[in-house]
Amino acid sequence: MAKNRKQIEDEILRNEVLGDEEDYEEYARLRDAREGVRSRKTRIEQEEEARQSREYEKRRQLQEEEARRRAEENRLRTYDKKKRKKSHPILGFMIALLILIVIAGVGGLAYMRSLLTSVNSIDLEESLQSSISPQVRDDQAMAEYQNIALFGVDSREQDLLDGDNRSDSIMICSIHKKTGEIKLVSVYRDTVLDIGGGEFRKCNAAYAYGGPQQAIAMLNSNLDLNITDFVTVGFEGLADTIDALGGIDLEITEEEREYMNSYMDDMYYEIGTDYDEVTEAGMQHLSGIQATAYCRIRYTVGDDFRRAERQRTVLQLTLQKAKEANPFQLISVANAVLGKTATSLDNTELLMLILRARNLELTESTGFPSEEDRTFATIGGESCVVPYYLTTNVKTLHRTLFGQEDYEPSSVVEENNEIINSYVQ
């Protein structure tokens, strides 16, 4: 293969021996060749420096011209604003305000309604009636609240309504219909309850066996509740909601920081979500994926009880950001999350919840079973949390959620209580 000019010049420059000095002609030829190559390279470098200098000068002139142009535009814009302000100061403001009201109140609502059609929706009210006892159905205190089951599932394929999804988190959300007061209770996922058909095991298995319908029926029959609505969100849905609201601020420990980075690495391989590692402990501003990883931590002191508390903390901070959001941010939240959510709420109910966000106030947050009325046992080879006694825990739950000081559990709860107690006697 013939050598190109650059290869020949490089060989000349690498050649340390100019030749036999006794052969003067050969010596002179090689010396001239080397000096010629060096001169050519020097000339090329000088030409490149000159070209770069010309390019720099050209860019500088263009930047100066652009700066002068912008300054002139700003001067004219300022003059126009002053002129308009002098002419119609109040009229201009009212027109702008009217436009915003129309966009937010009409266009915004219409757009949000169109987004709601992307929600995975299922109506469970009729099928769940059999899980609600007559005693609960006639309870006037409970009738003042809208009770919703919140499920966070370990879903990688967005199969939120079925499939092998154990509920990573289970919460009961009670909203007072008049005041907007919210109370949250986490049902610890390892709590042994009747998940259906007299099968007593960890309650998070109910969702995997029968989706939201079986999971809600489990809550109703074991805890004397009247839930017919639910919202289920996977990893991405929670992360996207928090991102759409601008992230949240919370304090994390060094131990939590290390676990968060590990969980984010797992989620990157599970669902392909990019992330930035958390590099410091202390007060941090967390993105959606970082906050979701925080919710999943269960191996620090407190185990699953502490994890459920983290989940309620993140939900509380997210609700606070939603209360502070403007209508356009709420539309952004809806756009980000609704397609990744499954619920029994219809479009109108969802829209009303979104619009009521500013008036909702979280006043109570706790877990079930309570610390003073729980123990542990191995059931079916699994380490479980035992509500000991179930009846006592149900009374505490109703006092917390509905202010019922003298609630008496139903006969179904009494029967389940006896079976559950037998595991620790």
| Cα end-to-end distance, the chain, whole Å | 90
Q: At 245, which CATH number?
A: 3.40.630.190
State residue 179's pLDDT score.
92
- Are 136 and 180 within one domain? yes
Looking at 56, 82, 108, the residue that finishes a domain is 82
Residue 345, domain member (yes or no): yes
Q: Which of 291-295, 298-302, 330-334, 370-374 has the lowest mean pLDDT?
A: 330-334
Q: What is the mean pLDDT of residues 340-348?
A: 82
How many domains does the chain fold into? 2
Q: What is the mean pLDDT of residues 31-60?
A: 69
Residue 356 sits in which domain range? Answer: 118-421
- Are 354 and 268 within one domain? yes
For residue 57, give Cα distances in angstroms to 47, 64, 65. Answer: 15, 11, 12
Looking at 34, 60, 82, the residue that finishes a domain is 82
The tens digit of pLDDT for each residue in 74-91 reads: 666 665 554 444 444 455
Q: What percent of the chain has pLDDT over 90?
A: 43
- Are 149 and 261 within one domain? yes
State residue 153's pLDDT score.
81
State residue 255's pLDDT score.
93
Residue 94, domain member (yes or no): no
- Are 25 and 157 within one domain? no
State residue 235's pLDDT score.
77
- Are 248 and 348 within one domain? yes
Residue 209, domain member (yes or no): yes
State residue 405's pLDDT score.
95
State residue 101's pLDDT score.
44
Residue 69, domain member (yes or no): yes
The mean of the pLDDT values for the chain is 80
- Are 278 and 410 within one domain? yes
State residue 85's pLDDT score.
44
State residue 269's pLDDT score.
77
Residue 254, domain member (yes or no): yes
- Are 3 and 48 within one domain? yes
Q: Which of 76-80, 146-150, 195-199, 301-305 has the lowest mean pLDDT?
A: 76-80
State residue 391's pLDDT score.
97
DSSP letters for 177-246: TTT-EEEEEEE-TTBEEE-STT-EEETTHHHHHHHHHHHHHHHHHHHT----EEEEE-HHHHHHHHHHTT
- Rounded CA-CA distance 192/385 in Å is 6
Under the banding of pLDDT at 50, 70 and 90, the label for residue 111 is: low
Residue 105, domain member (yes or no): no
Residue 180, domain member (yes or no): yes
- Rounded CA-CA distance 27/31 in Å is 6
Under the banding of pLDDT at 50, 70 and 90, the label for residue 32 is: low
- Are 72 and 5 within one domain? yes
- Using the predicted structure, report yes or no on whether residue 53 has a pLDDT greater than 80: no
State residue 91's pLDDT score.
53
- Are 234 and 335 within one domain? yes
- Rounded CA-CA distance 353/334 in Å is 11
Under the banding of pLDDT at 50, 70 and 90, the label for residue 370 is: very high
Looking at 33, 61, 82, the residue that finishes a domain is 82
- Are 320 and 174 within one domain? yes
- Using the predicted structure, report yes or no on whether residue 420 has a pLDDT greater than 50: yes
The tens digit of pLDDT for each residue in 163-173 reads: 556 667 899 99
The tokens describing 70, both together, are 């912008």
State residue 196's pLDDT score.
95
- Are 322 and 174 within one domain? yes
State residue 28's pLDDT score.
60
Q: How many CA atoms lie within 13 A of 208 on its CB side?
A: 14
Phi, psi (degrees; rounded to nearest 5) at 223: -120, 10
Residues forming beta bridges with residue 169, ordered by sequence position: 152
State residue 62's pLDDT score.
74
Residue 160, domain member (yes or no): yes
- All residues at 6 or more sequence positions from 170 whose CB lies less than 8 Å from its CB, including other chains: 149, 150, 151, 186, 187, 188, 189, 203, 204, 207, 215, 219
- Are 64 and 171 within one domain? no
The tokens describing 324, both together, are 């502070």
Under the banding of pLDDT at 50, 70 and 90, the label for residue 319 is: confident
The tens digit of pLDDT for each residue in 128-161 reads: 999 999 999 999 999 999 999 999 887 655 567 7
DSSP letters for 334-384: HHHHGGGEEES--HHHHHHHHHTGGG-EEEEEEEES-GGGEEEEEETTEEE
What is the value of pTM for the model shown? 0.71
